[in-house]
Amino acid sequence: MPSKATTLDATRHTLEDLLLARGTDAIPIVLIASDDDLAGLSDLERRWAGARDWKPSQGAVLPVPDETGAVGKVLFGTGGAEWAKDTPMLTGALPGKLPAGDYRFAGPMPDPELAALGFLAGCYRFTRYKSGNDKAPRRLVLPEGADRDQVLALAEALYFGRDLINTPASDLGPAELEAAARELANAFGGTVKVTEGSTLLADNFPMIHAVGRASDRAPRLIDIHWGAESAPKVTIVGKGICFDTGGLNLKPGGSMGLMKKDMGGAASALAFALMVMRTKLPVRLRVLIPAADNSVAGNAFRPGDVLTSRNGMTVEIGNTDAEGRLVLADALSFADEEAPDYLVTFATLTGAARVALGPELPPLYADDDDFAGKMLNAARAVGDPVWRMPFWAPYDKLLKSNIADVSHISDGPFAGSVTAALFLKRFVHDAKRFAHLDIYGWVPREQPGRPQGGEPQAARALFQFFRQELGS
């Protein structure tokens, strides 16, 4: 029987054990940018590297023995002097290539916080369903200049988001997603209100109900509040489709295998919330998660149906596999009613976004140029990249319906991510700034600091934006 999902306390304890106090005796990691840097090594160390034909290519790791045969030093190839700008999470390549032990960076790091975070991010493994795991840790001494609490908060949020996405839908449905949200809110003095099942209809969330009504696991809207009411109002909406079969427009098997990650938007929203709460960022945070399964049953919503949304707009259903924008629409209308200063969606929304930009670069749609520019800079600085895409108004006509106010999908194969973003934008009128992130939520091939599996994309980027904007 798999153990209970990792709790926040257990994750925090694990990470605290991995990040050692400054001054702890540990094996030095020496950064080697080019062959020229090898000249600074001892003759024995150079001969060791030469005998193994080791080159300082980016992410290359070479343990070098001391006179006793134990690891006395580690050479770490950066691929050039500009590595910290181009690949700020490169240190995440270390844990998977090092033997168990305690390590420290031998010299100053361009960004000590990211260097430590990258290492901890690379230590992550999802072991809930594994037995007989290697328990021996790779630990790092806190680099000079890094804020321990900040590093731990960011790493904890990454682990939390990854655990949620990696957990199969059998163990993470709408109720379990609610439980994770409650644990998070309760840990930091937040409040939670949940609207569930038929109450969604009574409280005017008809499209969330329509998407989730075919499942035997009741749909719900999770609503978290945290922070002082006088602070800037930041509202995050995360898509929480716990499993997406495609509904009556049933996905083929090959497209359904990763659909446990269709709540990746909710995981990113909660990871962002954890960063905000743990670091006491001065905002009034609200997180809305419409959580549901998109299932098949006799009462499933159908292609051609017309649904009435929370704000009264009628929506013609073109394809039941485009369910995420429906649940988001009701949540956005609800969020917009209080006119927040920032309203941001995280959602694994379209395959078209992956066609356009691939799995590593989520599109960012924003109606405020200043916010968008600062967000791009923040994302680049912390190695959590996004790329701006347009709310291209002329494509709005592609959502025309002959029988309803709007069709929820476009009438052709083009610009699928843009038209999805335009659909969402129709439900936002009073928020001062609106942004939408069309994330993938998954790492298909392991990268430095990003093991294969779930990833709460853009959460660190958004946190960095607010950290800079608020001077925290």
Question: What distances in angstroms separate CA 234 from CA 42, 209, 231, one per listed residue?
Answer: 54, 25, 9
* Model pLDDT for residues 33-85, shown as the tens digit of each residue: 999 999 989 999 999 999 999 999 999 999 999 989 999 999 999 999 999 99
pLDDT value at residue 3 = 44
Report DSSP letters for 43-65, one per residue.
Answer: HHHHHHHHHTT----TT-EEEEE
Residue 53 has a pLDDT of 96
Residue pair 453/445 in contact by the 8 Å Cβ criterion: no
Report yes or no: 103 and 140 within 8 Å, Cβ to Cβ.
yes
The verdict on whether 182 is a catalytic residue reads no
The mean predicted confidence, pLDDT, of the chain is: 96
Statement: residue 5 has pLDDT above 90: no
- List the structure tokens of 244: 């997406």
Of the candidates 411, 462, 464, 466, the residue with the CA atom closest to the CA atom of residue 439: 462
pLDDT digits (tens, 9 = 90+) for 187-242: 999 999 999 999 999 999 999 999 999 999 999 999 999 999 999 999 999 999 99
C-alpha–C-alpha distance, residues 446 and 110, integer Å: 24
pLDDT, residue 50, reads: 95
Q: Dump pLDDT digits (tens) for 260-291.
A: 999 999 999 999 999 999 999 999 999 999 99
Q: What percent of the chain has pLDDT over 70?
A: 98
Mean pLDDT of 368-373: 98
Whether 1 has a pLDDT exceeding 80, the answer reads no
Q: Under 8 Å CB-to-CB from 50, ≥6 apart: which residues?
A: none
pTM score of the predicted model: 0.97
Higher pLDDT, 3 or 448: 448
Instruction: Tell which wins on pLDDT, 466 or 5.
Output: 466
**Residue 276 in contact with residue 463, Cβ under 8 Å?**
yes
- Among the listed residues 12, 278, 310, 325, the single catalytic one is 325
pLDDT beyond 80 at 134: no
Give, in degrees to the nearest 5, the angle at Cα 425 between 465 and 417.
80
- Asked if residue 412 has pLDDT above 90, the reply is no
Buried b (16+ CB within 10 A) or exposed e, 81-105: eebbeebbbbbbbbbeebeeeebbb
Instruction: Identify whether the C-beta of residue 278 lies closer than 8 Å to the C-beta of residue 153.
Output: yes
Rounded to an integer, what distance in angstroms lies between the CA atom of residue 399 and that of residue 419? 7
291-312: b or e for each residue (b if 16 or more CB lie within 10 Å)? bbbbbeeeebbeeeeebebbbe
Q: How confident is the model at residue 136 (pLDDT cuts 50, 70, 90)?
A: confident
Residue 185 has pLDDT above 60, yes or no: yes
* 8-state DSSP, 94: S
Partners of 219 in the beta sheet? none
What single string gives the DSSP state of each residue in 382-432?
Answer: TT---EEE---GGGGGGG--SSSSEESS-SSSS-HHHHHHHHHHTT-SS-S
Burial status of residue 57 (CB atoms within 10 A of its CB: 0-12, 13-18, 19 or more): exposed
Sign of the dihedral defined by the CA atoms of residues 36, 37, 43, 46, in that order: negative
Q: In the predicted model, is pLDDT for residue 7 greater than 90?
A: no
**Helix, strand, or coil (residue 98):** coil
Report the distance separating Cα 269 and Cα 256, nearest Å.
Answer: 23
Is 90 exceeded by the pLDDT of residue 321? Answer: yes
Rounded CA separation 137/14 (Å): 10
- Helix and strand tally (H, E) in the chain? 15, 20
Residue 4: pLDDT over 80: no
Residue 251 is a catalytic residue: yes
Strands 240-244, 233-238: pairing kind:
unpaired
- List the catalytic residue out of 55, 125, 251, 380: 251
Q: Which residues pair with 388 in a beta bridge?
A: 364
Return the pLDDT at 83: 94
Per-residue pLDDT tens digits for 240-258: 999 999 999 999 999 999 9
pLDDT of residue 472: 60
Strands (E), 255-301: 284-294
Give the closest residue to 260 by CA, choosing from 333, 166, 183.
Answer: 166
Distance from the first to the final alpha carbon of the chain? 43
